[in-house]
Amino acid sequence: MRLPLLNILLLISFAVNAQQASTDSLFNRNLEEVVVTATRSERKLSNVAVPVTLIQQKTIRQSGSLRLPDILAEQTGLFITQSFGKGVQMQGLSPDYTLILVDGEPLIGRTGGVLDLSRITVGNIRKIEIVKGPSSSLYGSEALAGVINIITDRSNARKLQADLRYGRFNTLDASLNGSTRMGKLSLGAFVNSNSSEGYSLRPNAVQKTVEPFWRLTTQVNIGYDFSERTHFNLTTRYNYEDIQNSITVQNLGTQVLSKGKENNRDLNITPTFSHRFNNQIKTTFRGYITQYNSKQSLEVKDQLIGYNDQFKQEFYRIENQTDIAFSDDHNLNAGGGYIREFVQSNRYDSLQTKRSNQVGYFFLQDEWRPLKNLSLIGGLRFDANSAYASVWSPKLAVQYRVTEKLRINASVGRGFKAPDFRQLYLNFTNIAAGSYSVFGSLVAKDEVLRLQAAGQIDNILPVFEKLTDLNPETSTGLNIGAQYDPSKKIKTRINFFRNDISNLILTDVIAYKTNGGQIFSYLNISRAFTQGLEAEASWQFNTSFNLSGGYQFLMTADKDILDAIAAGEMYKRDEQSGISSLLTRQEYAGLPGRSKHMINLKLFYENPSQQWFATARAIYRSRWGTSDIDGNGVINRDDEFADGYMQLNVSGGRNFARGIRIMAGVDNLLNYTDPENMPGMPGYNWYVSMSFDFGKFKQTRKQ
C-alpha cells in the first residue's frame, strides 16, 4: 500500500522547518476544560447540564492505549462488546445507539450494527468527549444512547513527533505527527501504521482467534485564515485495513485449510468555512464526504465454493450552523442540513442493487440563564427521512448550582431510530471470525431453512419462531445527577438514568451451524427499559498521586416478560432434573449482554521534576447473559451466563532530555481469557514504546 504523496511531502517539510519546541502534553495539565459535543458549541465542562466525560490526551498517553477501545474500556459505564468487531455499550444500550464522531463528523461502515472501534488509532487524539443520554435533538437517530466525539490534534505550532511501539504477538505500531504554519496557512499531517501476527486462544486450532492484520491511518489538515473573523479548514482522513484469513472447513469428511483476505477502506473529507460577523453572531458551513469499502474473499479449494463479500457505503452531507449570543446569559444555536446516503453490497441482494436514502433536517437549541445559578437548555430537531417516517426529537436540560461546590443536573430527551437496510436485508457471513452469519429479519427464515436443507444447520433455537417484520424504535431518556466537589482535590459525581424503549431491535442467536458458527438476526422487543446509576470520584491527594474510580449499577428488562412473570405465565427448567416451575422476577436477568455491576479503579503517579510516571488501572465486570438455552425465551439459568472477570492494566515510563520518552506496560496482567465470549481479550499483553520530539531535540542542541 503506497503512502499518499501529499502526506510524505508535508512530513518532509515539517522535518526541515521544525524550529521551535512543541508543548509536551504528557506533563501539562489542561486547566480550562472546554467541551463542544454536548451543545455543539464551546462550553466549560462545569456549565454543561448533561452527563459528560472528558478524556484528555495526557491520560490516553500515560495509559499506553493503542486503539480507541483500549481507553474507552476503562471509562465508567462503557463496555466494549466483541461481536462484529469492538463496539461500545452505553447505559445498557447496544452499540447501534451510540453515535461515533471524528472531529464532529460521523463514521460509517457498521457490521451487525457495530462500528468497529479498532479502526481508530489514538496516536493523534487530542481529547475524547463522551455525552451520555439521548442526543437526537442535536445529532439525529443514531444518538439514542449518547455520543462519543474523537477530537484530533490540529495544532498549528511547528512540531514533528515520532512514536514507536512493539509488543506481544509481534505487534508493531509506528506514528509520525507534524504541523507547521506559514503566515495565514497552517498544515498538519499524521501517519500511523499498526500490525500484528494475530493470536489463538485455542492452541490446537488451525484458525487463529484474531488473524494477522495491518492498518494504515493518515490524516492531513489544511487551514487558512482569511482574516481574524473568517477561517477555512480542510481535513482528509484515510484508513486502510488488510487482514489475512484462514479457516478449516469440512470437505468430503476431511478438514481442508482455506485462505482468504479482507480489505477495508475508509475515506473522510471535511471542508469547513466559518465567519464571525461580530461578537454576537457566528456562522459555520460544513461539508462532509465519506466512503467505506469492504471486501472479503476466500480461495476456492478442491470442490469447495469460494466466498466473496463486498460492501460499499457512501455518505454525503452539507450543513450550516449559526450561533447567536443575545447576551452573556442567552445563546441560540440554529442549523440545518441535507444528507444523501448510498449502500451497495452483495450482503443484501447483489452489487448491481444500489439502495439510497435522503434526509433533510433542522435543529434549534436555546441556552438561557434566567438566574445566576440556574441554566436552562431546550433543544428540538426535525428529520424528514425519505425511507421512513419523519420525526421530531426534543430535549430539555437544567442545571442548578446549589453552592459553588454542589451542582444538580437533569435532562430528558426523546429519540427515534428506524430499522435500516442492514436489519431488514443483510445477508452476511464472516469466514474470518468463526464463520458466523447475520441475516436481516426479512430474509433470515428463508436463509436458515436453505442451510438446513443443505445439511449445514446443527440446531435451531426457539427464538427463531419470533422472527417477524421489524418496526421503528422510539426512546425516552431521563438523566438526573449531581456533582459535589468538597475541595479542589476531591471531586464526586453521581447520575441516575432511565431509558424507555418501544420496539427495541436486538441482535440474537437464532441457530447454530454444524461447523460451530452462530447465526444472528434482528428482533423487536415490544417494550424494554434500561436504568441504573453511575457514580464517580477522584482524589488528587498530593502533587504526584491521583486516585479515581467509577461504578455502574444496571438493570434491564423486556416489559412484556415482566408482565408475563407477574401473571404467572413464565416458566423455567431445572438444569439437572429438567423439571419446570414458575419463573420469579429475581431469577430474570434482563436483556442479554448486560452486566449488573461494572467497576473501574485507576491510580496515576507523576513526578514532573524527575519526569517519571506510572499507572495501574483495574476493570471489573460481573457476569452477563449470553443466550437462551432452555427455550423459555429469557436469560435465567447459570449455564446461560458468561463469567464475570477482572482486568488489570499497568504502565510506566520516563521523559529524558532531547525530547525522548520511553514507556513499558502490560495489559491484562492477570491473564484472563474467555475464548467463547471475549475473543478480543488475548491474555496478558506486554509492550515497550519510545517517543521522540524533534522540536525538543533541536532546542536542546541550541542550548
Question: Tell me, what's the pLDDT at 471?
Answer: 75
Strand partners, 408: 400, 482
The residue whose grid cell reads 513499558 is 664
Contact 237/216 with Cβ under 8 angstroms? no
Question: Tell me, what's the pLDDT at 14?
Answer: 39
Contact 609/579 with Cβ under 8 angstroms? no
Q: What is the C-alpha radius of gyration for the chain, rounded to an integer number of angstroms?
A: 26
Dihedral, CA atoms, 200, 108, 413, 130, nearest 10 degrees?
60
Question: Tell me, what's the pLDDT at 508?
Answer: 83
Contact 418/140 with Cβ under 8 angstroms? no
Question: Tell me, what's the pLDDT at 519?
Answer: 92
The residue whose grid cell reads 475473543 is 679
Question: Tell me, what's the pLDDT at 431?
Answer: 64
Order of strands across the sheet that contains 98-102:
52-56, 125-132, 146-152, 98-102, 105-106
Q: pLDDT per residue over 270-294, tens digit each?
A: 999 999 999 999 999 999 999 999 9
Question: Tell me, what's the pLDDT at 2?
Answer: 42
Question: Tell me, what's the pLDDT at 696?
Answer: 62
Contact 220/177 with Cβ under 8 angstroms? no
Cell numbers placing 476: 425516552
Question: Tell me, what's the pLDDT at 470?
Answer: 79
Cell numbers placing 546: 491521583
Residues 6 or more apart from 109 whose CB is under 8 A from it?
115, 116, 119, 264, 266, 292, 294, 311, 313
Other Cβ atoms within 10 Å of 619 Cβ, number: 21
Per-block mean pLDDT, blocks of 10 residues, the chain (703 long): 40 38 36 75 79 92 94 96 90 91 92 87 94 89 89 86 96 96 94 95 78 95 96 97 76 64 94 96 97 83 63 94 94 96 78 82 94 94 82 93 95 82 77 75 88 90 84 87 95 96 83 88 86 97 94 95 94 84 92 95 90 96 91 89 96 90 97 91 95 72 52
Question: Tell me, what's the pLDDT at 554?
Answer: 98
Share in percent of the chain as helix, strand, coil (round to 5): 15, 55, 30
